[in-house]
Amino acid sequence: MKLNHHHEVKKRPKVVIVGLDAATWTLIRPWIAEGGMPNLAQLMRAGVCGPLQSVLPPITPPAWSSFMTGKNPGKHGVFHFVETERDGYAMNYANGGSRRSPTVWKLLNDAGFSVGTMNIPFTYPPEALDGFQISGLDTPTANSAFVHPPVLKRELVDHFGKINHDVRFLGFMSTDQRRAQVLAEMEKTDRQWAAIALYLLEHHPQDVMMFVFMSIDTVQHYFWQYMDRSHFLHDPKAESRFGNAVRKVYERLDAVTGQIIEKLPSDATVLVVSDHGGGPVVDRTVFLNRYLHQLGLLHYCEGGTDRRQRRFGLRRIGTGILRGGFSLLRKSLSSRQKNLLAEAFPTLRKKAELAYTSFRNIDWDRTKAYCSEVLASPPSIWINLRGVKPQGIVEPTEQRALTDFIIEKLNELKDPRTGKPIIARVYRRDEIFHGPFSDEGADLILDWWSEDSLFSTQPSFTKDKRKPPVMIRDHRPSEDSEWGGTHRLHGILIGRGPALKIAVEIENAKLVDIAPTLLYLLGVPVPEDMDGKVLTNALRSDFLAVHKLQAGDASGISETRRSSGYTEEESTKVEERLRALGYLD
């Protein structure tokens, strides 16, 4: 442990990264043009900026994991908030323990640099870094061991009280009062993290530091429709109250970024990054399992408990999924994850129950392809492969023709108003993921993040199996907690420092490029198995001329077995809280 004590010389941070989850240029640029966001604007004038391409699909857990490893999800094994069992139909919650590649933090430690990180998603349980690590949104509870070293947690709690990852009432915004409460809670959470970040800079500076703020993501999901007059959920009456909710969060975190920069030596490198962008949700909904059923690829069990089900043990398995689903909630769902799911599902329990019920009615013995509709996104399709899934019926030799057929049929789904295809592109697993864990990803990944390919999915129910697979949602103001915003592929990158160009816009930067660039800036060889590249177009030619690019040995795999790392005690606490909140009977 190398926390600074009074007798030690304090370190001067060399690189400081501010992570603004979901920050997007489509909002920042116009606001800067109006004179807003002064600190990011100043940073852009003093350095480089440009779009930062996320991973596919652009969601938080794989995105930040790829940021930290410089690798695609096939090499680190984090694909989603949940991980689907490769040899089953059930799902488990993932966390930082599911990551199976060394992080750039570990590589920096090995090269002699101390590292301190705060609130990065998917860093629970925290790594035993030389420096510190405070876990992010996969932290189970405030009582969990989410800070390394533990002595730092005691110190922070002494100064700041209980450290809060949660935003209360998120899933329950049925009134303007509740919406206002949620915005106030978000501000409180931001203020606490900002105060902790400034304290850590002052009292525990490290060579490399990173601070992440989550509320841009949250506010975009729930309040986009209030600022966007063309949005199908826009409410003109609520615009005066919540029309500036998103911008307020951006301006607040712009100010926090300014305060962080003020604390730094002038020769420190500063990076501001987001893990993906944001944009409005659109009114097109696709019922994927309903469509697969209509194509003859997915069959439902007729009746609840027929002989066929019992004969093949389906009832037992179906109930197992249902029970398994909720025992997962009981076992591993943290308060923070509950909020994440509340984001995905405004009325979590109802939706989860419905989704599990719909899932339970799938007749696996006659089903070739299915979507795990339990989570709202991302929409992806799995093949019920013989030898892999317990009741797989698709022969490996049949798989290519089957996925060709599904892709062709997905391309035929049209917006009834325009006649244009809804899904612009369907990716095969091997087009997106490569590496030792790539076969843990879904077989087909549907593009829901590109501007010409926007749609949502919802669970399909047996009783509706003959309804059209595409639905256009009603245009009306939001009444409850409801996503008006979702993710886009491109986040942001801004950087300033002695090695970086000045007032230059760069193209083609990717989230996986940050880890190798960070290593290069500090003179550490870049592991040959990182997928990212050093962002040479952001760097001054005189720096590049003097500092040779060094390829290093592969960083490889850190673990071969995934595990969530949640203890029984944490599970019990989580269960108590969920019960109190009405999530469990």
Give the H/E segment covering residue 354. helix 348-360
Contact residues for 393 (Cβ-Cβ < 8 A; gap 6+): 364, 365, 366, 367, 368, 384, 386
Q: How many CB atoms lie within 10 A of CB 265?
A: 10
Give the H/E segment covering residue 357. helix 348-360
Give the H/E segment covering residue 495. strand 490-496
CB nearer to Zn ion: give 228 or 275.
275
CB nearer to Zn ion: give 60 or 478.
60
Q: Which two tokens stand for residue 82?
A: 């949940």
Q: Is 275 in the site for Zn ion (CB under 5 A)?
A: yes
Q: Nearest distance from residue 448's CB to Zn ion, in Å?
A: 15
Short-list 56, 513, 441, CA closest to 276: 56
Contact indicator for 362, 320 with CB cutoff of 8 Å: no
Give the interface segment with Zn ion, choosing from 55-63, 360-368, 548-556, 561-569 (CB under 5 A): 55-63
Q: Nearest distance from residue 410's CB to Zn ion, in Å?
A: 26
CB nearer to Zn ion: give 204 or 488.
488
CB nearer to Zn ion: give 20 or 173.
20
Tell me the three state secondary structure of residue 270: strand
Q: Nearest distance from residue 278's CB to Zn ion, in Å?
A: 9
Residue 522 CA to residue 519 CA, distance in Å, equals: 5
Q: DSSP state, 51?
A: E
Give the interface segment with Zn ion, choosing from 20-28, 48-56, 391-399, 459-467 (CB under 5 A): 20-28
Give the interface segment with Zn ion, choosing from 143-151, 272-280, 376-384, 461-469 (CB under 5 A): 272-280
Give the interface segment with Zn ion, choosing from 58-66, 161-169, 185-193, 334-342 (CB under 5 A): 58-66
Residue corresponding to tokens 């902790």: 196
Residues 195-234 that bind Zn ion (CB under 5 A): 217
Q: Which of 39, 60, 257, 403 binds Zn ion (CB under 5 A)?
A: 60
Size of the site for Zn ion (CB under 5 A): 5
Give the interface segment with Zn ion, choosing from 59-67, 153-161, 400-408, 576-584 (CB under 5 A): 59-67
CB nearer to Zn ion: give 253 or 317.
253
Q: Which residue is nearest to Zn ion (CB)?
A: 60
The C-alpha angle 372, 138, 345, rounded to 5 degrees, equals 45
Residue corresponding to tokens 């606001």: 31
Q: Nearest distance from residue 307's CB to Zn ion, in Å?
A: 47
Short-list 301, 476, 377, 362, CA closest to 89: 362
* Antiparallel, parallel or unpaired: β 269-273 and 48-53: unpaired
CB nearer to Zn ion: give 377 or 555.
377
Q: Nearest distance from residue 60's CB to Zn ion, in Å?
A: 3
Q: Nearest distance from residue 23's CB to Zn ion, in Å?
A: 9
Half-sphere exposure for 88 (CA within 13 Å, toward CB)? 13
CB nearer to Zn ion: give 60 or 123.
60
Half-sphere exposure for 585 (CA within 13 Å, toward CB)? 5
CB nearer to Zn ion: give 276 or 389.
276
Q: Nearest distance from residue 449's CB to Zn ion, in Å?
A: 12
Q: Nearest distance from residue 198's CB to Zn ion, in Å?
A: 23
Q: Nearest distance from residue 517's CB to Zn ion, in Å?
A: 20
Q: Is 21 in the site for Zn ion (CB under 5 A)?
A: yes
Residue 131: phi, psi to the nearest 5?
130, -120
Q: DSSP state, 127?
A: P
Q: Which two tokens stand for residue 156?
A: 């922070």
CB nearer to Zn ion: give 22 or 500.
22
The residues of the shown chain that bind Zn ion, judged by CB under 5 A, are 21-22, 60, 217, 275
